[in-house]
């Protein structure tokens, strides 16, 4: 298959919408990460998405919408709190798990009775959904298990020749995937942290709790509230450790054949090869760089990489959640 490279202009958007209406698979930019989109109502197209990514069949997809009418089409028994969250955080990086309507197939929801829905704010994504007049099921546009793509080059590196087209939009502004919450149970639960923070969500959902799998490994046989949580994810090939604590520079300076992923503030003290992934005082900076850096790690040829863990608050919680998976839960506490 030859993957068409489309510009993020009117013509590119129209072509992308045409391909999607005809059952094709197109990688599109969103504000969080690039998504691999297909018509949410077309089972054959959805199967092609799973195949291109090599994604396990039991991991459901997020459905992307452009207006509230589409929400009523894909979900049912929508609680009032969902409308309040939509008002505050949509369009934007929040995904809500709701009861699914009959229009959503087992294929999209991996057999669950729920559907995950999000309204992206990125204009190209918004226009493609609007133009195609279809809700688009879209996982991140990476090969399953690899870091999510935040540029179209990442997408091409992973999926060239395996998908119909890629829309060459801008670098993603947020850089980590959307916050996922479920409103389908008795109480709201945070399933995956993102740029919409738990602190912000508490203003509308004071009783929201954080799922155990956000910060720890599931015990063998334990059921995941969000199937994506059980897989090793975002992992470089290089053995990765997450390091918590203040004396990061002293710790890594004793290591050989290793790379440090650090904050700008401590960079000068570090004497081994290093990549700066943002400023410690501003989590948005390292959220934005995280996946690009994880993709760089393997190019350095070192044996081990040590990543300095951020604080687990604000967007820092999202970054910590991705890093602990990239490190396959190997955490060193200094
Ligand atoms: O920002 C994002 O969310 C990006 C862009 C493309 O929108 N998409 C994304 O999709 O990250 P994906 O497939 O890589 O991650 C979706 C996560 C998975 O962990 C999956 O298990 C969970 O959402 N999920 C999807 N449907 C669910 C459902 N019905 N119940 C619980 N979790 C669900
Ligand atoms: Mg993903």
Q: What are the pLDDT digits (tens) for 239-251? A: 999 999 999 999 9
What does the angle CA 239 – CA 258 – CA 320 come to, to the nearest 5 degrees? 55
- Residue 25, classed as helix, strand or coil, is coil
Rounded Cα–Cα distance for residues 202 and 168 (Å): 36
Rounded Cα–Cα distance for residues 319 and 249 (Å): 20
Residue located nearest, by CA, to atom 32 of ligand 1: 226
Q: Tell the residue number behind the tokens 């045409």, with chain if given.
A: 18
- DSSP letter (8 states) at residue 1: -
Considering the domain 239-333 in this protein, what is its CATH number?
3.40.50.11030
Give the pTM: 0.96
**Please, what is the average pLDDT of the chain?**
95
Query: How many angstroms separate the alpha carbon of residue 118 from the centre of ligand 1?
Result: 9
Task: Determine the pLDDT at residue 254.
Answer: 97
Q: What are the pocket residues of ligand 1 if the criterion is a CB atom closer than 6 Å to any ligand atom?
A: 30, 32-33, 35, 59-62, 93, 95, 97, 109, 112, 114-116, 118, 138-140, 177-178, 180, 191-192, 226-228
If one counts every other C-beta atom within 10 angstroms of the C-beta of residue 42, the result is 20
Query: How many angstroms separate the alpha carbon of residue 142 from the centre of ligand 2?
Result: 7
Query: How many angstroms separate the alpha carbon of residue 229 from the centre of ligand 1?
Result: 10
Rounded Cα–Cα distance for residues 145 and 232 (Å): 6
Task: Determine the pLDDT at residue 223.
Answer: 79
Domain ranges of the chain: 4-214, 239-333
User: For the domain 4-214, what is the CATH superfamily, name and number?
Assistant: DHBP synthase (3.90.870.10)
**Which atom of ligand 1 is the closest one to the Cα of 115?**
29
Among candidates 45, 32, 38, which has minimal Cα distance to 128? 38
The pLDDT averaged over each successive group of 10 residues in the chain (334 residues) is 97 98 98 98 98 94 98 98 98 98 96 97 98 98 94 98 98 97 97 97 98 87 78 82 96 98 97 95 91 92 97 95 93 96
Residue located nearest, by CA, to atom 3 of ligand 1: 178
**Which atom of ligand 1 is the closest one to the Cα of 138?**
6
238: left (phi > 0), else alpha (psi -120 to 50), else beta? beta
Collect all residues with Cβ–Cβ distance below 8 Å to 221 and sequence separation of at least 6. none
The two tokens of residue 141 are: 């546009």
């Amino acid at each position: 298959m030859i993957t068409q490279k489309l510009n993020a202009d009117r013509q590119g958007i129209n072509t992308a919408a045409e391909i999607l209406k005809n059952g094709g698979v197109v990688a599109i930019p969103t504000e969080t990460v690039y998504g691999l989109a297909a018509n949410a109502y077309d089972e054959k197209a959805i199967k092609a998405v799973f195949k291109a990514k090599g994604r396990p069949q039991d991991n459901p997809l997020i459905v992307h919408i452009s207006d509230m009418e589409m929400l009523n089409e894909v979900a049912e028994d929508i609680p009032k709190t969902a409308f309040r969250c939509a008002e505050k955080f949509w369009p934007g990086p929040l995904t809500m798990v709701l009861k699914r309507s009959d229009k959503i197939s087992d294929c999209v929801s991996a057999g669950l009775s729920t559907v995950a829905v999000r309204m992206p704010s990125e204009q190209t994504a918004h226009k493609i959904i609007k133009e195609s007049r279809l809700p688009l099921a879209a996982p991140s546009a990476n090969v399953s298990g690899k870091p999510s793509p935040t540029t179209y080059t990442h997408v091409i590196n992973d999926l060239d020749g395996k998908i119909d087209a890629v829309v060459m939009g801008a670098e993603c502004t947020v850089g980590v995937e959307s916050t996922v919450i479920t409103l389908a149970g008795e109480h709201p639960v945070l399933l995956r942290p993102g740029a919409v923070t738990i602190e912000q969500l508490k203003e509308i959902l004071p009783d929201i709790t954080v799922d155990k799998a956000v910060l720890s490994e599931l015990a063998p046989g334990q059921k995941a509230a969000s199937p994506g949580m059980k897989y090793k994810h975002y992992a470089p090939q290089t053995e990765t450790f997450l390091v918590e604590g203040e004396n990061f520079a002293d710790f890594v300076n004793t290591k050989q054949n290793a790379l440090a992923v650090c904050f700008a503030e401590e960079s000068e003290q570090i004497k081994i090869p290093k990549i700066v992934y943002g400023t410690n005082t501003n989590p948005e900076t390292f959220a934005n760089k995280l996946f690009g850096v994880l993709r760089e790690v393997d190019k350095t040829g070192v044996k081990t990489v040590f990543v300095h863990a951020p604080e687990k608050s604000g967007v820092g919680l999202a970054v910590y959640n991705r890093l602990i998976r990239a490190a396959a839960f190997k955490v060193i506490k200094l």
